Amino acid sequence: MATAEHTQTPDNTPDTSNPRKRKVMLVVLAIVVILAGVAVWGYHEFYGRWNESTDDAYVNGNVVEITPLVTGTVVSIGADDGDLVHEGQVLINFDPNDAQVGLQSAQANLARTVRQVRGLYSNVDGMKAQVNALQAEVQKAQDNFNRRKNLAAGGAISQEELSHARDDLTSAQNALANARQQLKTTSALVDDTVVSSHPDVMAAAAQLRQAYLNNSRSTLIAPVTGYVAKRSVQLGQRVQPGTALMAVIPLDQLWIDANFKETQLRDMRIGQPVDIEADLYGSDVKFSGTIDSLGAGTGSAFALLPAQNATGNWIKIVQRVPVRIHINAEELAKHPLRVGLSTQVDVNLRDQSGPVLAQQPPQKASFSTNVYDRQLAEADAMITQLIHDNSAAASKTVQR
81: pLDDT strictly greater than 70: yes
Residue 294 CB neighbour total at 10 angstroms: 18
* Non-local CB neighbours of 215 within 8 Å, separated by 6+ positions: 96, 99, 100, 102, 103
Mean pLDDT of 165-193: 73
Cβ 59 vs Cβ 219: under 8 Å: no
Return d(Cα 197, Cα 231) in angstroms, integer.
45
Cα 220 off chain centre by? 16
| pLDDT tens by residue, 337-388 | 999 999 999 999 999 999 999 999 988 888 899 998 888 888 999 999 999 8
CA distances, 213 to each of 356, 377, 378 (Å): 45, 11, 10
- What's the chain's average pLDDT? 84
Angle at 55 between CA 53 and CA 277, to 5 degrees: 85
Confidence of residue 399 (pLDDT cuts 50, 70, 90): very low
**Domain spanning 64-95+218-248 has what CATH number?**
2.40.50.100
Phi, psi of 377 (to 5 degrees): -60, -40
Partners of residue 238 on adjacent β-strands = 73
The verdict on domain 251-307+316-348 having CATH code 3.40.50.300 is no
Q: Looking at residue 179, what is its pLDDT?
A: 74
Q: Looking at residue 331, what is its pLDDT?
A: 96
pLDDT above 90: percentage of residues in the chain: 50
Phi, psi of 178 (to 5 degrees): -65, -40
Angle at 39 between CA 38 and CA 42, to 5 degrees: 80
All structural domains of the chain with their residue ranges: 64-95+218-248, 104-198+376-399, 251-307+316-348
Q: Looking at residue 195, what is its pLDDT?
A: 77
Cα 19 off chain centre by? 83
| pLDDT tens by residue, 88-129 | 999 999 999 999 999 999 999 999 988 888 777 666 666 777
Task: Tell the burial category of 56 from Cβ atoms under 10 Å away from its Cβ (0-12, 13-18, 19+).
Answer: middle
Cβ 252 vs Cβ 111: under 8 Å: no
Confidence of residue 396 (pLDDT cuts 50, 70, 90): very low
Cβ 157 vs Cβ 181: under 8 Å: no
Partners of residue 94 on adjacent β-strands = 74
Task: Tell the burial category of 376 from Cβ atoms under 10 Å away from its Cβ (0-12, 13-18, 19+).
Answer: middle
| pLDDT tens by residue, 317-348 | 889 999 999 999 999 999 999 999 999 999 99
Q: What angle separates helix 97-153 from helix 199-216, to the nearest 10 degrees?
A: 170
